[in-house]
Amino acid sequence: MDISRKTDYALRILSMLVNNEDQLLSVRAAAEEVDVPYSFARSIQHELVRAGIIESLRGVHGGMRLKVDPAKISMREVVEAVQGPLCVNDCTASDASCPRISACCYHPLWAGAQALLASYLDSVSLADVVNGSAFPAVDTKFCDPAAFPGYAGCANRSDSGN
């Protein structure tokens, strides 16, 4: 899983919106503040509007503002809104069609890593991160080796290693 440059810039812009919830932020001002080309900032704005995270108001006194409560949107939801579903390997994608998936000894490893990352990013909201009010954590099942087959999708595997 790679956090794209677009996601990084989107998070910077969202931080500005969280810190100034009562004000409209122009795309141009945001682009200058986070050192992003204006056209790229507009693209990010469109993605965030499409995802329902921000709203955009047109006109001379327009701009963008949060549409969601930043305390109620997880970091995973934000990341996925910009770059799509979490996917640490092609075989862990929702539409994976690898013919070796059932016999591959590495698939459970990648599926487990993806589940761990999802838990970590789901554990904090956008507001938590921006305000430093809470820190990410993972479900305790990730500390129990016996739980691995359940969250890594290998509970029904008949062979234990290839």
47: helix, coil or strand?
helix
Number of separate helices (H) and strands (E) present in the chain: 7, 2
> What's the CA gap between 9 and 95, in Å, rounded?
28
Statement: residue 145 has pLDDT above 50: yes
Q: Judge whether 128 lies within some domain.
A: yes
56 and 91 in a common domain: no
Single pTM value for the model: 0.85
Statement: residue 155 has pLDDT above 70: no
Number of independent structural domains in the chain: 2
Q: Please report the pLDDT score of residue 105 as a whole number.
A: 87
> What's the CA gap between 135 and 141, in Å, rounded?
18
Residue 159 pLDDT level (bands cut at 50, 70, 90):
very low
Task: Provide the 10 A C-beta neighbour count for residue 140.
Answer: 9
pLDDT tens, 32-44? 999 999 999 999 9
Specify the CATH number for the domain of residue 30: 1.10.10.10
Owning domain of residue 148: 85-152
109 and 56 in a common domain: no
Residue 156 and residue 97 in contact, taking contact as beta carbons nearer than 8 Å: no
Task: Please name the residue that has the structure tokens 């503002």.
Answer: 65
Q: Judge whether 55 lies within some domain.
A: yes
> What's the CA gap between 68 and 54, in Å, rounded?
7
Statement: residue 161 has pLDDT above 50: no
74: helix, coil or strand?
strand
